[in-house]
Amino acid sequence: MSDIKFNTDMADERVDEYKVINNMSDIDGIDIKEEKFEEFKVTEVNVTNENGASAIDKQIGKYITFEMENVKYINNREQVINKLKDYLLQLIDSKTSSIMVVGLGNMYVTPDALGSKVVKGIDVTRHILKLTHGILSEETREVSAICPGVMGNTGIQTSEIISSVSKIVNPEYIIVIDSLMSKSIKRVGASIQISNTGITPGSGITGINSKIDKDSTNARVISLGVPMVVDIATITNDALSKIENSTDEKNERYQKIAATLDTENYIVTPKDIDELIEITSDIISQSINEII
């Protein structure tokens, strides 16, 4: 595992941080590609071996990040949706593989409500395909969707709920939606990360839980998230750097600050989080609906 305690769920931010701290320009086992569009940028981080995985404390796999410049005033939302759809189709091997969409998070706390908002927008087909023959075309993909809630409200590990429901639904793919943490304030509500690795809910806001992956669900897991919060310790440390001009020991001090702060219990989020979550959840559910 990496020596760094990362304060972000975004693979590309972790790569940047690792390079700065270790004064490297490349990491063995990590390939990066960037593609620019008019209003957004796509960064593809490929973690290809254990060295890369260990460096950024992420599993071997693909991490694609969409970064929108001005998400609230984007003109061509369709282009983002289409590109996101293309990446989803790259990760799903067939036009007919069944999918279960899982919306993580606490729907009653605005910045943690991404998952449930996306699920609300999904056009499910499974019950129609099972119960009423002939209504939908035979090539319609089987799609189901659940919101398991958070452990603080259910008393049950979220991963256990997902694993037990996936046993009866038997989807080939699970697309897990979650609110993430970024270290950059300007990326909150403005980035989307897709990856073909599992997820451990609670990296973001949700709380401690065990892993959702191929082993626990018997399905291939695609994770799709938007940073909705930033880490308090990052903000603290950045503020300090600005007033003290002492950047050398920044990482060390970060660890100290993080240790004194009860960061696990707090959320730091922009005031316009309600608008950001509406826009990004709409983009995600539309792009998933496009592949049905």
Applying CB under 8 A, which residues contact a second copy? 106, 108-110, 112, 119-121, 124-128, 142-149, 151-157, 160-161, 163-165, 167-169, 185, 205, 207, 232-233, 235-236, 238-240, 242-243, 253, 256-257, 260-262, 264-274, 278
Q: Which amino acid is at 153?
A: N
Distance between CA atoms of residues 82 and 79, nearest Å: 5
- Minimum Å gap between C-beta 271 and a second copy is 6
What the block records as the tokens of 71 is 């998400």
Measured from the CB of residue 29, what is the shortest distance to a second copy in angstroms?
Answer: 34
Nearest distance in Å: CB 49, a second copy:
35
Task: Report how far Cα 105 is from the mean position of its chain's Cα atoms.
Answer: 12
Distance CA(151)–CA(207), nearest Å, equals: 7
The position carrying tokens 């990482």 is: 251
For residue 257, the minimal CB distance to a second copy (Å) is 5
- DSSP at 30: E
The residue among 66, 63, 61, 103 whose CA lies nearest residue 84 is 66
Name beta bridge partners: 176: 102, 223
**Alpha-carbon distance values, 10 to 16, 124, 273 (Å):** 10, 29, 19
- Whichever of 54 and 289 has its CB closer to a second copy, that residue is 289
**What whole-number distance in Å separates Cα of residue 157 and Cα of residue 149?**
9
- Distance (Å, whole) CA 145 – CA 102: 6
Least gap, CB of 179 to a second copy (angstroms): 11
Q: State which residue, 5 or 167, has the beta carbon closest to a second copy.
A: 167
Q: Of 46 and 210, which has the nearer Cβ to a second copy?
A: 210
For the CB of residue 286, give the shortest distance to a second copy in the complex, in Å.
Answer: 10
State how far the Cα of 271 lies from the Cα of 72, in Å rounded to an integer: 13
CB nearer to a second copy: give 166 or 197.
Answer: 166
CB-CB contact of 143 with 124 (8 Å): yes
We find the least distance from the C-beta atom of residue 2 to a second copy, in angstroms, to be: 23
With respect to a second copy, which residue has the nearer C-beta, 89 or 124? 124
Q: How many CB atoms lie within 10 A of CB 136?
A: 14
Residue 130, number of CB atoms within 10 A of its CB: 10
Nearer to a second copy, 10 or 230 (CB): 230
Nearer to a second copy, 197 or 287 (CB): 287
Minimum Å gap between C-beta 264 and a second copy is 8
- Closer Cβ to a second copy, 51 or 170, answer by number: 170
Q: How far apart are CA 23 and CA 20, in angstroms?
A: 5
